[in-house]
Structure 1
Amino acid sequence: MYTIKEVMTRQVDVISPDASIAEAAQRMRTGDFGLLPVGENDRLTGAISDRDIVMRAVADGKGADTRVREVMSEGILWAYDDDTVENAVKIMSKHQVRRLPIVNHDKRLVGIVALGDLAMNKAELQPAAKALAGISA
């Protein structure tokens, strides 16, 4: 049975809540991902997704200089790095999320799990990957 730390991406880009949504969008484009954890004082305070930018900023006529904190999602979901992959799958499936921040037991961000991390060719992960297929639909 795999733990999350065995499949997660360890290099996670974190953005300040005081950064602009333009900076967030540029970093998402450069990194080719759709979610940035938001951190302040070494703590995870939320997340901003490409959808947050579109639905909470652009759709409301807010400018590119709008602060991340104004449109980010608070109270984000996360899992511990020593949880099982199956636990991450349950969280992601239940809440229909494609990316899940991973923290250690000191609640420090240590990685992120995305659908792509779970779609590996390891036979043991195939049931997890199949269970998540509905999220992409």
Structure 2
Amino acid sequence: MKVSDAMTSQVSVARPTDTIRDVAQVMARVESGVVPVVDNDKVVGVVTDRDIVLRVVAEGRSFDSPISEAMSDGEVLSVKEDDILADATAKMASNQVRRLVVLNDAGKLTGILSLGDVAKDYGAKQVGKTLEEISQEGGEAAH
């Protein structure tokens, strides 16, 4: 099974200059805990609801600040649409993350693969194994 068979392809995105408030409202509206941040068709970061709590609420930052101040940047962990799903879950486990952005061959965002997606299409046994590996020593990274 390929990543494209399991991923969520309808993904809301933000620009680095969008406000934290606007991105949080998008998360609430689409019921998602993650929004990729895209600049010039390139994923430059990812923001999670956890990032907003830890980097904005806990630090007393303004909700009118740009989302670039709250997002996880640096290396954005990703997979390709045509990658094997088992390889993607192994990447989640080895990097201790619950989500990966999905890119096409041109490097453009085409979706997000989450443990929930894997559970629906790949089976609870693999999700349990991946979650066990993610939970070892330190839990999920901020992306």
Aligned to 1:24: 23
Partner of 1:128: 126
Counterpart residue identity of residue 131, structure 1: K
Root-mean-square deviation (CA, aligned residues, Å) is: 1.7
Alignment correspondent of 1:80? 80
In the superposition, the TM-score normalised over structure 1's length comes to 0.90
- Provide structure 2 residue ranges, at least 5 long, that are not aligned to the other structure: none
Q: CA deviation at 1:126?
A: 4.3
Cα distance in 1, alignment partners of residues 90 and 116 from structure 2: 16
SS of the counterpart of 1:38? strand
| Alpha-carbon offset, residue 83 of structure 1 | 0.6
Q: Distance in 1 between matches of 2:54 and 2:77?
A: 20
**Cα deviations by residue, 1:37-70 (Å, 9 ceiling, x for unpaired):** 0001111111111111111111111011011111
Q: Which residue of 1 aligns with 2:107?
A: 107
Q: What CA distance in whole angstroms lies between the structure 1 residues aligned with 2:126 and 2:101?
A: 17
Percent identity of paired positions between Structure 1 and Structure 2: 37
2:49 corresponds to 1:47 = no
Question: In structure 2, the residue corresponding to 1:60 is in which secondary structure?
Answer: coil
Residue type of the alignment partner of 2:113: V
Partner of residue 56, structure 1: 55
1:89–1:131: 8 Å Cα contact kept in structure 2? Answer: no
Measured against aligned partners, the alpha-carbon deviations of 1:8-54 in whole angstroms (never above 9, x if no partner) come to 11111111110011111111111111110000111111111111111
CA distance in 2, matches of 1:52, 1:113: 18
Residue 37 (structure 1) aligned with residue 36 (structure 2) = yes
Q: Secondary structure of the residue that 1:119 maps to in structure 2?
A: helix
Q: Following the alignment from structure 2 to structure 1, what is the Cα–Cα distance between the partners of residues 96 and 65?
A: 27
Deviates more, 1:92-101 or 1:62-71: 92-101
SS across alignment from 2:54: helix
